[in-house]
């Protein structure tokens, strides 16, 4: 195959995943965040070639965490179990309170 071939690695059956799969610890972290914060909403992020399906959990004050869930179905089950609304981030975007929290906590971006 040449350098500029239009065939992709996926066409050849070679996995393109660069990141790890979701684990029980990821789901536990989301559940713990819901238990420790009020007004939490989940924002579903679709799987990409680099990352598994993820959920961003955003609290009433804008504090947030992002964890892998493995599939949209798993995210929906977790949201239902904890009575948390689940939105598709690609359709709704993220709430302004998350951006405001990020501006107020620049140290978080240094990780």
* pLDDT bucket at 14, cuts 50 / 70 / 90: low
**Is residue 7 situated within a structural domain?**
no
The percent helix, strand, coil of the chain (3-state, each to 5) is 35, 15, 45
**DSSP type of residue 106:** G
Rounded mean pLDDT of 22-41?
95
Q: Is 86 exposed, middle or buried (0-12, 13-18, 19+ CB in 10 A)?
A: middle
- State the pLDDT at residue 26: 94
- State the pLDDT at residue 17: 52
**Is residue 82 situated within a structural domain?**
yes
**Is residue 4 situated within a structural domain?**
no
Domain that holds residue 38: 24-109
* pLDDT bucket at 93, cuts 50 / 70 / 90: very high
**Is residue 48 situated within a structural domain?**
yes
Residue matched to tokens 């975007």: 93
- Res. 8: pLDDT tops 70: no
**Is residue 12 situated within a structural domain?**
no
**Is residue 2 situated within a structural domain?**
no
**Is residue 17 situated within a structural domain?**
no
Strand partners, 42: 57, 86
The total number of structural domains that make up the chain: 1
CA gap 62, 95 in Å, rounded: 8
Rounded mean pLDDT of 9-32?
73
Rounded mean pLDDT of 86-103?
95
Note the helical H segments in the chain: 24-36, 72-81, 89-92, 96-104
Mark residue 80 as left, alpha or beta (left: phi above 0; alpha: psi -120 to 50; beta: remaining): alpha
Q: Is the pTM of this model over 0.85?
A: no
């Amino acid at each position: 195959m040449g350098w500029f071939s239009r065939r992709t690695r996926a066409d050849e059956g070679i996995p393109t995943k660069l990141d790890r799969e979701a684990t029980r610890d990821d789901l536990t972290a989301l559940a713990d965040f819901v238990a420790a914060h009020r007004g939490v909403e989940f924002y579903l992020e679709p799987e990409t070639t680099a990352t598994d399906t993820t959920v961003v959990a955003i609290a009433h004050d804008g504090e947030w965490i992002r964890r892998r869930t493995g599939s949209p179905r798993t995210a929906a089950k977790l949201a239902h179990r904890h009575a948390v609304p689940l939105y598709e981030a690609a359709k709704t975007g993220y709430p302004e309170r998350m951006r405001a929290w990020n501006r107020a906590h620049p140290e978080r971006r240094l990780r």
